[in-house]
A and B are shown apart, each in its own frame.
Chain A
Amino acid sequence: MTEQVPRWASETFWKKTAIWVTGGSFVLLVILTFDSLKQISAGGPRVPAYSVINQDVSYRFDKTKQRYQPTIGDEAPLFGKLLTEEEAEKLVDHGKKTVQAKNCMNCHTLLGNGAYYAPDLTKAWLDQGWGAKESREQLMVDFLLDPEKNARTYGSNRKMPNLDITQQEAEAIVAFLKWMSSIDTNGFPHNFKAIGEEE
């Protein structure tokens, strides 16, 4: 066996293969990364600009694509204030930073990633659990400020702890959640009926 190793089973053949395959895959990944980042920059075709929080956002089944898609509707300012692009970005940024600083991802999932102790936040803004579109902003802020008193446990006894969220932080989180709900997630979560949508 030692003397007559065929070329395809030799060490050098596989060494070269390993190098070429790794290099080739990596180059391909870099090219795809450039394209993907272009497509997912805020204001691009898949991730709306932050000022989308001034508009009505919903989630509908698209018959041509055969999957659910976010739809951007008429003007519907958050907390009754129309924000400029810069103001909107600042608010969403504060929301995202708060979500990270409060370690939300170790109970919740965002875009489906995180922990599974609490519900997914990807389309939290659109969840029918908020009852009516008119009151959800206030309900969300109230909930974030005192989650124990306003607990929404659905009979599970799981309560969100009080995370010392300030009024400003709470509003910023709501802005972040509204903006996140407008991202085109290729139909995830599937079959989700948004608030205000009749059965």
Chain B
Amino acid sequence: MTLQAYQEKATVCWADCKQRYGVLMANPHLSGGQKLAVHYFTVAMVLFMAQLLFGLLAGLQFIFPSFLYEILDFNVNRMVHINAMVVWMLYGFLGSVYWFLEEESGVPIVGLKWGQLAFWVLTGAVTVVVLVYLLIQIGSGTDTSLWLINEGREYIEAPRWADIGIVVVVLTFFYNVAATFTAGKWSGIAGVLTLDLVALAGLYLAGMFYVTNISVDQYWWWWVIHLWVEATWEVLVGCIMAWSLMKLLGVRRKVVQTWLYIEVALMFGSGILGLGHHYFWIGTPEYWFTIGGFFSALEPIPLVAMVVHSIYDAGAHRFKNSNHPALAWIIAHAFGNFLGAGVWGFMHTLPQINLYTHGTQWSASHGHLAFFGAYATINIAFFYLAAQQARGNVWMGGELANGWRWKTAAVLLNLGVMGMTVALLIAGYEQSFIERAVEGSTWAGYFAAQNHPWFMQAMIWRMVFGLMTAVGGGLLFWDLLEIGKGEQRPAAVISNEAG
């Protein structure tokens, strides 16, 4: 093809995109905030696919170490894998809040224009950061590298210019939320959400400076990683969950809000000092053994409450609900959060065990199930709520056309992640046993464990289940684009008074 032909093709493609975008923005079924939410959900899904792709590449490198050697090395793939995850989850949360903000407050979003601008700024920045990760990858040992390329700190690798951008975007989001509730009405959910967002934005600052002392570095790094993920994210998800249970099942506000406060008390009560379980081995004082061990042992309790809460609410209404796929994902969330974050976390959280399991595939096992169970699932539930409303609040119950698609996607994703978790747990047991207990944590011991057939077997299983997850992810994406199209029946009406 000639250059001209390419140009013509690009023009057509661009016009098509513009037209589709126009259709989306003209959708009469969505409010302004909900349109913005759909933007966030779309990018979230794209990043989810990126997470799966780079996860597969990194997983393959355990089995074939020379695969993409010095082109896309493990460190690059793994960084894109975990960063895409963090960012798509944040996109999902932001989108979910924009989704229900107007309904919850009773007024249109205050400063929506700023929110829209922030979305494009954030998305542009994320694109640049990913391109730099892939094309430039590393720099020399100077401040310039940390500012422009990569900070080299797990999970918060984003270069510092992007950190500042993220804070600005989160502050814009906070302004939208707080100003909208102030203009409309405050509810219990609104109050918890707003305070949680203050903590979310504030804690990020703890990860934004450089220090030489690695103990101090890791001390603050955990403030972002643990206090975000095991406290503020969980509470944010609690708010989103509370709202979606009212919406989906018609649960009374008093019930969900009381539960939400109980969860906040348990989550912060155990999670804030549970931070101590990361302070066993980084140079910090011994008292963290006691504090970290004790409070992190309490951490699964709120997660049990969450499971009871969801299942009870669903059961009390005989599972009558307005959106089957969303409810299925909320149930997956309840179990996933409890199993992945609660049980899998507790398994190696006490110092007596953690001395052998810290820094092994145990953490990878826990991480896979916890992030999926606690956060991916609730975001997916919201994607389905959004799809339903965008198509005109259509029927999404039994006998839904092509219902096999969402069901198969859900089975593949849940089985796939569970399979990876179990495979990595086996690898973790093997590693703790051979590398740590038998060989005494030397490099020779490390490789003795990595080369062992038991380890290799587990990594192959992980790959099989990883592929299953990726297929499920692709199917989910397809389903979200198609579900409810052409559906004429209106959504089931769920009464609000059943106790």
A residues lining the B interface (CB < 8 Å): 1-2, 9-11, 14-15, 17-18, 21-22, 25-26, 28-29, 32-33, 35-37, 39-42, 46-47, 50, 89, 92-107, 109-120, 122-124, 127-129, 152-159, 161-164, 166, 169, 172, 180, 183-193
Whether the pair A180, B150 counts as a contact (CB closer than 8 A) is: no
B283 touches A154 (CB 8 A): no
Closest to A191 in B: B440
Nearest Cβ on chain A to B79's Cβ, whole angstroms: 5
Contact A14 B262 (CB under 8 A): yes
The stretch that binds A, out of B32-40, B138-146, B391-399, is: B138-146
Nearest CB in chain A to that of B282: its residue: A111
Enumerate the 5 nearest inter-chain pairs by beta-carbon distance, A residue then B residue, closest first: A98-B141, A100-B152, A154-B447, A189-B441, A112-B359
In Å, the complex CA distance between A112 and B279 comes to 11
Task: Give the distance in Å from the alpha carbon of A190 to the alpha carbon of B361 in the complex.
Answer: 17
A67 to chain B, nearest CB (A): 9
Judging by beta carbons under 8 Å apart, are B285 and A36 in contact? yes
Chain A residues within an 8 Å CB radius of B153: 100, 105
* Majority secondary structure, B binding face: helix
User: Which residues of B lie under 8 Å from residue A101 when comparing CB positions?
Assistant: 138-142, 145-146, 149-150, 152
Given A22-B272, A40-B283, A100-B152, is A191 in contact with B436 using a C-beta cutoff of 8 Å?
yes
Distance to closest chain A CB from B355 (angstroms)? 5
CA distance A39 to B213 in the complex (A): 12
Contact (Cβ within 8 A) B443 A129: yes
B69 touches A161 (CB 8 A): yes
> Across the interface, do B451 and A155 meet the contact criterion of CB distance under 8 Å?
yes
How long is the Cα–Cα vector from A128 to B446 in the complex, in angstroms?
12
Name 5 A/B residue pairs within 8 A (Cβ), A-sorted: A98-B140, A103-B79, A104-B75, A117-B75, A193-B442
Judge whether B291 and A40 touch: CB under 8 Å: no
- The chain A residue sitting closest to B83, CB to CB, is A106
Residues of B within 8 A of A129 (CB): 442-444
Q: How far is the CA of A152 from the CA of B442 in the complex (A)?
A: 13
Q: What separation, in Å, do the CA atoms of A95 and B152 have in the docked complex?
A: 13
* B74, A115: Cβ atoms closer than 8 Å: yes
For the complex, is B403 an interface residue (Cβ under 8 Å from A)? no
Alpha-carbon separation in the docked complex, A104 to B150 (Å): 11
Q: Is the CB of A154 within 8 A of B444?
A: yes
A119/B446 contact (C-beta < 8 A), A1-B499, A37-B216, A183-B283 known: yes
Residues in B244-268 with C-beta less than 8 Å from chain A:
254, 257-258, 261-262, 264-265, 268
Kindly identify, within residues 262 to 281 of chain B, every residue whose CB is under 8 Å from any CB belonging to chain A.
262, 264-265, 268-269, 272-273, 275, 279-281
Residues of B within 8 A of A158 (CB): 65, 450
Contact of A11 among B79, B154, B258 (CB under 8 A): B258
- Distance (Å) between the CB of B235 and the closest chain A CB? 9
Q: How many residue pairs between the two chains, A and B, have CB atoms under 8 Å in the bound complex? A: 258
In the complex, are the beta carbons of A97 and B442 less than 8 A apart?
A: no
A residues near B360, Cβ cutoff 8 Å = 116
Q: Tell me whether A190 and B355 are in contact in the complex, defined as CB-CB below 8 angstroms, given that A100-B153, A104-B75 are known contacts.
A: yes
* B219 part of interface (Cβ distance < 8 Å): yes
Residues of B within 8 A of A32 (CB): 287, 291
Given A10-B258, A35-B285, A185-B281, A42 contacting B154 (CB threshold 8 A): no
Which residues in A have their C-beta under 8 angstroms from that of B437? Answer: 191
Q: Which residues from chain B contact A22 at a C-beta distance below 8 Å?
A: 264-265, 268-269, 272
A residues less than 8 Å from B145 (CB atoms): 97, 100-101
Of chain A, the residue at the smallest CB distance from B276 is A32
Q: With a CB–CB cut-off of 8 A, which chain B residues contact A180? A: 214
Neighbouring B residues of A156 by C-beta, 8 Å: 65, 447, 450-451
* Contact between chains at B73 and A161 (CB < 8 Å): yes
Give complex CA distance A188, B356 in Å. Answer: 9
A115:B154 contact, CB within 8 angstroms = yes
Q: Are B143 and A97 in contact (CB under 8 A)?
A: yes
Contact, CB under 8 Å: A185 / B282: yes
Chain A hits for B444, CB < 8 A: 128-129, 154
Specify which of A92, A159, A184 is in contact with B69 (CB 8 Å cutoff).
Answer: A159
Which residues of A have CB within 8 Å of B73?
107, 161
Shortest beta-carbon distance from A115 to chain B in Å: 5
Flag if B61 contacts A117 (CB, 8 Å).
yes
Interface residues of B in 155-177 (CB under 8 A from A): 157
Q: Does B8 contact A (CB under 8 A)?
A: no
Q: Which residue of B lies closest to A194 (CB)?
A: B442
| Residues B261 and A103 in contact, CB atoms below 8 Å apart | no
Question: Cβ of B234: which chain A residues have Cβ within 8 Å of it?
Answer: none
Enumerate B40-82 residues with CB–CB distance to A below 8 Å: 58, 61-62, 65-66, 69-70, 73-76, 78-79
With known contacts A10-B258, A94-B141, A113-B359, A21–B269 Cβ distance under 8 A: yes
**In the complex, A128 Cα to B447 Cα: how many Å?**
13
Q: Say how far B352's CB is from chain A's closest CB, in angstroms.
A: 11
Q: Beta-carbon contacts of B284-305 to A below 8 Å, as 1s and 0s?
A: 1111110100000000000000
